[in-house]
Amino acid sequence: MVGRVCSSMSEKPLLVVFDVEGIIIPGQRYFLETMKLLDFRRRVNILYCGLMYTLGLMSLRTALIHIYHQFKGVYLAEFIETFERIPLIPGAVEVMDRLRGSGIRTAFISSSVADIFLERLACRLKVDHSVGPTLEALEGKLTGKASGDVIQDEGKALALCKLLQKLKIMPRDCTAVADDWNNVSMFNLGVRSIGFNPDFILTPHCHSVIRGNLIEILPFLDPGIQAKRRGRSIGTREIIHTGSFLIPLLCRFLTVDRLLVSLMIISISTGYLASEAARIRGRSLPLFTTITRNAAVAQEQWDYAIAPLLFAIGIVSTLLIFPPNAAYVGVTVATLGDGTAKVVGKRWGRKTIPFNKPKTFEGTLAGFAVSALAGCIYTSPSVAVFAAAVGMAVEVLPSPVNDNLSVPFVVAFATSITS
């Protein structure tokens, strides 16, 4: 099983509402693909608005109005053709088919994907309802104007309320599936909520959290459905992550220069970047692509897998910035401790952490114990215990910063000031 599922649902809902980007089509792909129809200046404006919204410096409505204004003059037919080339997330067709077979109604609600595209997508997947922003077109060209409930702040909640009223369905009989913080208002309506690879803001608002393939949601929508397990082997990923604790051992006991190790990691990372660029385009770079395909989980299977790159950056920056022993403790906690937490949590975890449901108490405690013990190789037992506690706290707290970056850096810093 690739994803970890938390919580359960005893009755199937009458309606399941899906966010679209990140759930049905790869996240961010909609604007990234349609931007290719624009010149450089307009692309930059879209990226700027997206960044300002992500940082909370621009409202959703303002961002979307400015973004869609950049498409003024674009032929609607070209826009539609570009959208049609965006792939579906693996499992989307099967999920819709099996929900329909169970008599469950389905709907798409999106703040970004225009209604004309959602209608075509809903028709393709035989989804019952769809709500998205309305784009104005004149003589076959976009005017750059967008409107609709969903582009308002908390507009998704408004759109869902109207849909529930139309269908005469109570919120408790509806389930919403989403992945990012723009869906918090919809989750807060009292619907049953499933986070599919959710971000750190949405996670605490989810009744269930799934990190894996989309078909993993099926048993949580209808207990009578048994999802087929199609996850890729996680053995490769575990071996690479946990086995990297050998790096500080090489530096400490075989006196391998930290700079040399860092240069080797950078060289491997360069090859990895090339292999990812090839993999996304359907090509292959020997060895690198094979390893990536075996280790990729969740959205990494259909999009760029950046976690390994962040993992390498975290190790290299820690080795080069901090004193030797502090750096070794940081890398050890990030590799052996974090890796142990994930393995134990996936296989034996039962008690989930309320504010970060994919994590478990069993996994966190195991990671703490193992990293504290291993940390004693490089520092005193008291400092090792403190470093392990810091590392597991950083690993378990919801954060926008990937723990492959934050854990080694913060642990090395904590170790350096206490040693």
Q: Which of 58, 77, 61, 59 is nearest to 69 (CA)?
A: 61
pLDDT for the residue numbered 298: 56
Distance CA 97, CA 219 (A): 14
8 Å CB contact between 175 and 261: no
What are the pLDDT digits (tens) for 61-106? 999 999 999 999 999 999 999 999 898 998 999 999 999 999 999 9
Residue with tokens 């209608």: 119
Token pair for residue 322?
Answer: 């901090």
Instruction: Name the pLDDT band for 238 (thresholds 50, 70, 90).
Output: confident
Residue with tokens 């195991």: 366
What are the pLDDT digits (tens) for 216-228? 899 888 777 665 5
What SS3 class is residue 20? Answer: coil
Could you tell me which residue, 46 or 302, shows the higher pLDDT? Answer: 46
Whether the predicted pLDDT of 5 surpasses 60: no
Q: Which of 217, 355, 220, 240 is nearest to 290 (CA)?
A: 240
Instruction: Name the pLDDT band for 233 (thresholds 50, 70, 90).
Output: very low
- Biggest alpha carbon distance in the chain? 74
State the CATH class of domain 15-221. Answer: alpha beta
8 Å CB contact between 105 and 15: yes
Question: What is the domain partition of the chain in residue ranges?
Answer: 15-221, 235-418
Average pLDDT score over the chain: 87
